[in-house]
């Protein structure tokens, strides 16, 4: 396995819990409502009007890192996946790179489970799920026109099943983030899908589902922040949480591109609209300042970080010009702030339309590990204990 970094790890001593007010280098963390140190799961057998029984909240051994993945994430079927600019195999490539770097082995990963229909109905309407039984609807959502000519049983197996598995992975990672302090779903981030409609290659509302599962099933989790740093507006979760004061949404996106959903923008509590070609310094400065303010305005019990890599220079759909190093710095910034404020963080990988994005995601995860921001013993990382200054 990858050797530990040579400098002292910014990890609290066993049995200690750094304060949320750990300011370290100027980061003021507003106090959040008190929550138990170890959140307890609520009864989930579906009896008495409680949450339904699910396979997604099963116990995960401590020997496995809170990194969720399944080979079933990847979409491959007669080359149809190549008709969309999205790299439908990038998730497996990320894992391959991490294995090559000796960071992970299969036995250290958490195997994602497919979200069941009952799981999906926590957010989605039955009418919408029935729509997905028509190949035309799936072709529209995935933006792959030839899908319309495929029998729906093939569409379910080759297109929607991988997306349901990634959705299950996000829900599983939400629970793991609360238990371990951090979690990464190597897939997910379908932020254009809401309860009753999909689009932009997003068929299931995994971000909304992960948060609602936590609200319903984990005691002490009642406030969430979504930090959406994909190049596109996250109109799906915005529509789902419209008017819900428990959920604070910060969205940083190219103002000129899809989806341009004016109605959904009303749900954004901290909106940062970018111009074409925004580069590293301006981008990171805006993320930094607004993330600090977001956590001060709404101290959350959990953060969902939508870490799209379509901000990368040369991405024709994202239209921004952030370098690979800028993406690594961005992810480090978000994790350092969340971990310093003792906010559990769930990262999903979302959009990214170039072949090199898989390598960048892997490099970012390696950097987080080298800095002690993730790892088997990093459940309590304090900003004031780190030898690398906060960017805020």
Catalytic residue numbers?
Answer: 192
CA distances from 16 to 37, 119, 204, 221, 343 (A): 11, 36, 38, 21, 15
Alpha carbon distance 326, 277 (integer Å) = 14
Among residues 144, 172, 175, 173, the alpha carbon closest in space to that of 159 is found at: 144
CA angle 119, 301, 289 (to 5 degrees): 115
Six token digits for residue 169: 């992975």
Alpha carbon distance 30, 357 (integer Å) = 34
The residues, ordered by sequence, that sit 6+ positions from 13 with a Cβ below 8 Å of its Cβ are none
Per-residue buried b or exposed e for 217-238, using 16+ beta carbons within 10 Å of the residue's own CB? bbebbebbbbbbbbbbbbbbbb
Among residues 357, 299, 293, the alpha carbon closest in space to that of 331 is found at: 357
């Amino acid at each position: 396995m990858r050797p530990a970094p040579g400098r002292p790890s910014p990890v609290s001593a066993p049995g200690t819990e750094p304060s949320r007010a750990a300011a370290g280098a100027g980061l003021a963390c507003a106090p959040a409502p008190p929550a138990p140190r170890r959140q307890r799961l609520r009864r989930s057998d579906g009896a008495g009007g409680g949450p339904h029984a699910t396979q997604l909240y099963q116990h995960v051994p401590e020997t496995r890192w809170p990194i969720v993945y399944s080979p079933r994430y990847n979409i491959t079927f007669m080359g149809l996946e190549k008709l969309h600019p999205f790299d439908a195999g990038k998730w497996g490539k990320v894992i391959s790179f991490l294995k090559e770097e000796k960071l992970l082995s299969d036995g250290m990963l958490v195997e994602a489970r497919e979200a069941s229909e009952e799981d999906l109905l926590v957010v989605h309407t039955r009418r919408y799920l029935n729509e997905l039984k028509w190949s035309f609807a799936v072709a529209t959502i995935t933006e792959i026109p030839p899908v319309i000519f495929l029998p729906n049983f093939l569409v379910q197996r080759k297109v929607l099943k991988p997306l349901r598995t990634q959705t299950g992975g996000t829900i599983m990672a939400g629970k793991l983030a609360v238990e371990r302090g951090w979690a990464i779903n190597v897939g997910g981030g379908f932020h254009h899908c809401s309860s009753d409609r999909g689009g932009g290659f997003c068929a299931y509302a995994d971000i909304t589902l992960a948060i609602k599962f936590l609200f319903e099933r984990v005691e002490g989790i009642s406030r969430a922040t979504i930090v959406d740093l994909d190049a596109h507006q996250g109109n799906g979760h915005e529509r789902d949480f419209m008017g819900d004061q428990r959920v604070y949404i910060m969205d940083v996106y190219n103002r000129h591109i899809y989806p341009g959903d004016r109605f959904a923008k009303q749900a954004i509590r901290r909106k940062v609209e970018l111009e074409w070609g925004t580069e590293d310094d301006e981008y990171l400065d805006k993320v930094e300042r607004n993330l600090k303010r977001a956590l001060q305005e709404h101290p959350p019990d959990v953060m969902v970080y939508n870490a799209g890599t379509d901000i990368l220079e040369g991405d024709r759909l994202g239209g921004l010009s952030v370098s690979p190093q800028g993406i690594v710095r961005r992810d480090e910034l978000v994790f350092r702030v969340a971990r310093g404020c003792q906010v559990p963080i769930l990262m999903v990988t979302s959009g990214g339309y170039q072949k090199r994005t898989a390598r960048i995601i892997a490099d970012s995860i390696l950097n987080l590990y080298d800095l002690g921001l993730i790892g088997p013993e990093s459940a309590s990382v304090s900003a004031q204990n780190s030898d690398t200054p906060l960017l805020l």
